[in-house]
Amino acid sequence: GAVVSQHPSWVICKSGTSVKIECRSLDFQATTMFWYRQFPKQSLMLMATSNEGSKATYEQGVEKDKFLINHASLTLSTLTVTSAHPEDSSFYICSARISGREKLFFGSGTQLSVL
């Protein structure tokens, strides 16, 4: 089956620093990837849709200048949390689908802790 790899699996950083999270589709090409954020004991909230070769589409309430998304190739999307603060601490998870199909394949997630 399709595999989505996400790195790092966890990261601890100081407040004010930036953190980059990578999401790769290993055995298929993904023109579209999705980034979700999940706070403890809550649901997965869609942050943005990452489109290869074009700008990401952000959900309402998500700051595009704070959560930078780059989808430079058909197999890689990155999410950069800029100037991270403790309230950005969360579980970030990416997903991708094979073109023309509805099923989403999820990365393993990144637990971000901002001190």
Partner 1 sequence: GENVEQHPSTLSVQEGDSAVIKCTYSDSASNYFPWYKQELGKRPQLIIDIRSNVGEKKDQRIAVTLNKTAKHFSLHITETQPEDSAVYFCAAHTSNTGKLIFGQGTTLQVKP
Please select the residue that binds partner 1; options are 63, 108, 113, 115, rule is CB under 8 A. 108
Q: Can you tell me the distance from the alpha carbon of 60 to that of 1, in angstroms, rounded to the nearest whole number?
A: 33
Q: Positive or negative CA dihedral for 48, 31, 51, 21?
A: positive
What is the closest distance, in whole angstroms, from the C-beta atom of residue 60 to partner 1 in the complex?
A: 8
Q: Can you tell me the distance from the alpha carbon of 30 to that of 20, in angstroms, rounded to the nearest whole number?
A: 19
Site membership for partner 1, residue 106 (CB under 8 A): yes
Please select the residue that binds partner 1; options are 5, 20, 28, 46, rule is CB under 8 A. 46
Structure-block tokens of residue 19 = 């953190």
Q: Which residues bind partner 1 (CB under 8 A)?
A: 32, 34, 36, 42-46, 49, 60, 91, 93, 95, 97, 102-104, 106-109, 111
